[in-house]
Structure 1
């Protein structure tokens, strides 16, 4: 394929030849001699050659400039690539000089721009680093500011600056929070900043404070000292208040005096502490003047803690000063030591004691329901209270064993931890519980026996006198006053009270007859030896057995023959 430039060059040669030929024709027509034609042709040659030489020189110059530019760009590009830690880009083999020069120059401009940006970023990071190092009092970041940093170096430097900023903010927040606490503590302690460091903290601007590690540590140390001093003051004030309250209670100080002093019962300032100390000294003087009353008051408090801790009588008697009557300061001191020991003992085992108290309260409540359940007058209640009490009694009966089991587990764990025995009223808790249940069981047996003896006495009197004693707990019904329950015409009326002669009407068996005959004979013979003596010699078991059979037969007959109020009452008492 022929280039257009080559065709144009051929065309230029053709034009030149045509021009020369045209010139020769002109010269020929004019008649210019040969020597002049020669001269004129020489002029044309020189002119054309000069013009071409000038053009060639210019193009040669351009070629040289291109070569020089390529060499310079390649050298600078190589240097910049080394500074930027980049690989040198090699030109393409078939690339022309113009394209090569252009590519190298463009690449160089890009790399120089990147170099400038990196240096500018390095300078900015270095300035930030110096500022942060000045605030945090740390050494600056180690990096060569004259060399072009790599991307990795700049990223690491940025990360370092970010960490310094985070540390700055953390220390700033810690400084502000600690400063507030220090100011609060100083205010509560009525203390002014004494040292230059304290004045820098409290009085100077927050931005002017150096956030060095040493200063932060100094801040924390100062705060700890102030908090320790405040804690000591609080403990001292608390102790003074506790002593004052105890003395108030022991000396029976009126509520008016206490309320007037109430403003000083909070806080731990130096002024408050001084006021508390003054009040304590005043009460100490009163205590010396009323030593007996004070010791008696302490003894009452001792008794309350003995009760809370379930101390047995032996444990209480072990504290001999409680029974002394020589009211001295030493005796009061002994009581105070014992009271403090008991308070600490109760606080240490408060959870267990509260559990035992809970069981004790539920146990007493259960005993109360049990007592009500055995009371015959409980059937006179109205409004469903009887059902409620029965439900509560059943609930307590089920809850008490569960509570006992929980306390047993807790106490066993406590005993293993402390390697000692947990006592309630001088004995093991489960032993104490078992003893309470056993006492309750024996009490119920005793009450049952008393009721049985009472029934037996009623039977004896009934058999001996021929009539049942009136029961005060049952109200006698008067048919004449109850129109809703009038006796029908022809209906038989059973009279209150009955004699032994009428008993066979109600279907007594032969065994009953024999027992009644035996009782009658015994009653007759008793007239000769004394009524009281014979009555004590009756066989209770025989009468009780006979009477139970009699009650069953009597209940059967009474349903069909008679609705006597006295007989129904007697039957009810039997089953009760």
Structure 2
């Protein structure tokens, strides 16, 4: 039995006892029956009213519970819909009080979740608005008065993160661009003129709008300043080259040049103005020293003639070079010619350098080849002979490779330029072939001279009996033809007085069993040539 039922039974028992006690009291007092009935009726009505009042209160409580349950259920369904979560499932078989408590607790939790989401949304919206103001971007598409879902909040968080990254990237890019812009402005002595330039240079970095348009405008401004800087540097460099040329041509003292060193390095506005003033001064001075300047330019022209491998005919084609009538017109012609030569050299620089390398290698090869035929080279005791021979061998092997490489480069250049590449007014390979041919002819000439010298020495030795005992080559002792035998016999009769010892000295110490007659001069030359050939 429930405790409430026990308490109800006790209340009924207590009521019965009370009535019995009242009855006893009434009997002892002697209250008449009608009064007893009246009093009992009062007790009954009082108890009835009290109980009815209590029932009404409990009925009212029940109604409040039912109303609260309905209200909370409605609120819960609304919150679940706003929060985009499944509706809370109520338990079956529970009391009205527990049901109301469960629903009310769930509503409170949902309200807390809603408030938290709304606070997060408010904070994110504020951050998004700040970022939009800085980046000049479109606000994130979410209603500020609607309850966001967890997925929407997560996406919003990610969006804010990306916006912050973009802000940091743009800020870094802005500060770097601003640094370069300020530096170039200082180099150009440029004062900000437009409102945008003033915003960039003068305003606080944090207040600058980091929009894409502003970043693009910054890049454009930097590009324009760099172009101006490049133009200034190019102009200054051109002035410096001109000044250097005029200094050299006018033979300006070194002390005077050093005073101008500051302007020969930097390219600020004041440097440009100083350079322009110096060029103007030197040009005026040049007009006063036309002869010296013209001769200085002629020296430069001669240098570039050598660099460009100009032939004598090509050099003579520039007739002003040989004129003695020094005036402004002649100076202008020389100026134009030196500029043309410099441009010509720059256009062909790689090829000219290749040809120069071949020339140097060829000159070294000829020098080593000449040393190889020098009889005094055998007196060397320092190891240079072996080094020179090795170097000459490498050059002899590498020269054709270099010629082949140059031929390929020249063929490519001629195909691109649609003109011939000339060295000393002839095609390079023709020039190379001519050098090799000249070298071959020189070698043959030297060889022939050695042959003639040796033949002459042999004739003198055989004539005066002063032959060298150890000749450089073994004597040819082959069988002679019958005609030669007859000539030898005829000669022997003319020189029978020659001793065997003399003949041994002629033939390198070889002992002959019978006297060998002396050969005539023509036969000696023929035999000497045969010895050298074999």
**TM-score category of the 2 structures, normalised to the smaller one:** 0.7 to 0.9
- Residue of structure 2 in register with 1:346 after alignment: 345
Aligned to 2:184: 185
Equivalence for 1:84? 83
Which residue pairs with 1:131 in the alignment? Answer: 130
Q: Please say if residues 459 and 547 of structure 1, whose CA atoms lie closer than 8 Å, have aligned partners that are also in contact.
A: no
Cross-structure match for 1:423: 422
- Contact 2:118 / 2:147 at 8 angstroms: preserved in 1? yes
Partner Cα distance (1:113, 1:66) in 2: 23
Distance 2:176 2:22 in 1: 110
Aligned length: 500
Alpha-carbon distance in structure 2 between the residues aligned to 1:85 and 1:313: 98
Structure 1 match to 2:331: 332
| Per-residue deviation, 1:73 | 0.6
Contact 2:504 2:510 in 1 (8 A): no
Gaps in structure 2 of 5+ consecutive residues: 471-500
User: What is the Cα deviation at residue 239 of structure 1?
Assistant: 0.9
Indicate if the aligned counterparts of 2:361 and 2:399 stay in contact, CA closer than 8 A.
yes
Supply the distance in 2 between the matched residues of 1:416 and 1:104 (Cα, whole angstroms).
93
Alignment equivalent of 1:540, drawn from 522, 525, 529: 525
Q: Hey, what does 1:573 align to over in structure 2?
A: none
1:85-164 to 2 correspondence within 5 Å?
85-164=84-163
Of 240-249 and 96-105, the range deviating more from structure 2: 96-105
Question: Quick check: 1:517 aligned with 2:518?
Answer: yes
Superposed displacement of residue 469, structure 1: 8.1
Equivalent residue, structure 1, for 2:5:
9
Look up the SS of the partner of 1:204 in the other structure: coil
**Which whole-Å CA distance do the structure 1 matches of 2:186 and 2:411 have between them?**
50
> CA offsets per residue over residues 419-471 of structure 1, 9 Å max, x none?
43333333333333333333323322221221111111100111112214899
Classify 1:193/1:23 alpha carbon distance in 2 versus 1 (closer, same or farther; 3 Å): closer
Change (3 A) 1:105 1:547: closer
| Residue pairs, 1:243-258, within 5 angstroms | 243-258=242-257
Task: Provide the residue aligned with 1:453 in structure 2.
Answer: 452
| Aligned: 1:441 with 2:440 | yes
TM-score (norm 2): 0.80
Q: Deviations over 1:126-157 (max 9, x none)?
A: 22233333333445444322222333433343
Q: Distance in 2 between matches of 1:350 and 1:141?
A: 61
Rounded Cα–Cα distance in structure 1 between residues aligned with 2:117 and 2:168: 27
Q: Output one character per residue of 1:261-307: Cα deviation in whole Å (capped at 9) or x when no partner.
A: 22221112222222222222222223222222222222221222222
1:132-531 alignment runs, 5 A limit: 132-468=131-467, 499-500=502-503, 506-508=510-512, 513=516, 516-519=517-520
Question: RMSD of the TM alignment (CA)?
Answer: 3.7
C-alpha contact (below 8 Å) 1:193/1:202 kept by paired residues: yes
Summarize the Cα distance change of 1:503–1:200 in structure 2 as closer, same or farther, 3 Å threshold: closer
SS in 2 for 1:517: coil
Q: Is the 8 A contact 1:84 1:148 kept in 2?
A: yes
Query: Structure 1 residues 311 and 18, CA, compared in 2 at 3 Å: closer, same or farther?
Result: same
SS of the equivalent of 1:506 reads coil
Distance in 2 (CA, whole Å) between partners of 1:200 and 1:383 is 77
Per-residue deviation, 1:417: 3.5
Q: Deviations over 1:226-261 (max 9, x none)?
A: 332222221111111111111122222333332232
Cα deviation 1:349-391 (Å, max 9, x = unaligned): 3233222222222222222111111111011112222122222
Counterpart check, 1:62 vs 2:58: no
| Contact 2:182 2:201 (8 Å CA) reproduced | yes
Cα distance change on mapping 1:17 and 1:135 into 2, 3 Å: closer
TM-score, normalised to structure 1's length?
0.75
- Alpha carbons 1:311, 1:426 under 8 Å: kept: yes
In structure 2, the CA distance between the partners of 1:431 and 1:44, relative to structure 1 (3 Å rule), is: farther
Q: For residues 72-91 of structure 1, give each alpha carbon's deviation from its aligned partner in whole angstroms, at most 9, with x where no partner exists.
A: 01111122222223332342
Unaligned regions of 5+ residues in structure 1, if any?
A: 472-497, 520-534, 550-576
Distance 1:370 1:257 in 2: 50
From the superposition, tell whether residues 301 and 80 of structure 1 become closer, same or farther in structure 2 (CA, over 3 Å).
same
1:291–1:327: 8 Å Cα contact kept in structure 2? yes
**Displacement of 1:544:** 4.3
Secondary structure, aligned partner of 2:260: helix
CA gap 1:208/1:14 in 2 versus in 1, 3 angstroms:
closer
For 2:424 and 2:97, the matched residues in 1 are separated by 114
CA distance in 2, matches of 1:144, 1:22: 71
